């Protein structure tokens, strides 16, 4: 079976969420010192930008690596429904149960875990797989993860 060219496909979404950077593994003093304004007890919010990139070969029948409409639905169901307009620390079980600090590093690993097998199952007769996730926490703070 011949495979078409390998192409990277990105879907961009946005979501709003609040959080507080606070580690149960650190003293109150260290929390204040390390996280500074982000340790504010009442939290603060971000308008996050999320970019999800899949990679695969173009299917010669459909002309697509993966239908972007399907990618949009998977991101909505498995990520945005859980985090949009939520408090990451209190509303998202992944953070609440593990008492994990809601840094963008931890958030991006959570989102990877939510999407990786989901996209793989969707694509069981196709080659597309999750390649990279990028999160803009602010215009200046950007985190990238490739599942390594
Ligand atoms: N390694 C990380 N460091 C920080 C994270 C993070 O997720 N990983 N997050 C934060 C805060 O959540 C904080 O809200 C960042 O906001 P802020 O400092 O206001 O954002 P900017 O740097 O874009 O704004 P400035 O204009 O430069 O203040 C902190 N650290
Ligand atoms: Zn923040």
- Domain boundaries, given as residue ranges, for the chain: 6-145
Give residue 3's pLDDT: 80
Nearest residue by C-alpha to atom 29 in ligand 1: 38
Give residue 110's pLDDT: 98
Q: Sign of the C-alpha dihedral, residues 29, 24, 83, 126? A: positive
Give residue 90's pLDDT: 98
Cα(24) to ligand 1 centroid in Å equals: 19
Q: Report the chain (148 residues): mean pLDDT per 10 consecutive residues.
A: 86 98 98 98 98 96 94 98 98 98 98 96 79 98 98
Closest ligand 1 atom to 21 CA = 12
**CA-CA distances (angstroms) from residue 101 to 15, 78, 110, 124?**
19, 20, 12, 34
**CA-CA distances (angstroms) from residue 16 to 7, 48, 130?**
30, 6, 23
Give residue 114's pLDDT: 98
Q: 6-145 has which fold?
A: Tetrahydropterin Synthase; Chain A (3.30.479)
Is-contact 147 110, C-beta < 8 A? no
Nearest residue by C-alpha to atom 5 in ligand 1: 103
Give residue 124's pLDDT: 64
Cα(127) to ligand 1 centroid in Å equals: 37
Give residue 82's pLDDT: 98
């Amino acid at each position: 079976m011949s495979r078409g060219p390998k192409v990277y496909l990105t879907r961009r979404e946005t979501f709003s969420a609040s959080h507080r950077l606070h580690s149960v593994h650190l003293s109150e003093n260290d929390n204040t010192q390390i996280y500074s304004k982000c340790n504010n007890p009442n939290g603060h919010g971000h308008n996050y930008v999320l970019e999800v990139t899949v990679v695969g070969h173009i299917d010669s029948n459909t002309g697509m690596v993966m239908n972007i409409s399907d990618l949009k639905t998977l991101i909505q169901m498995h990520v945005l429904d859980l985090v949009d307009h939520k408090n990451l620390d209190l509303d998202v079980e992944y953070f609440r149960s593990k008492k994990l600090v809601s840094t963008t590093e931890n958030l991006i690993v959570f989102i990877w875990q939510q999407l990786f097998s989901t996209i793989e199952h969707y694509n069981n007769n196709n080659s597309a797989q999750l390649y990279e996730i990028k999160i803009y926490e602010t215009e200046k703070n950007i985190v990238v993860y490739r599942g390594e």
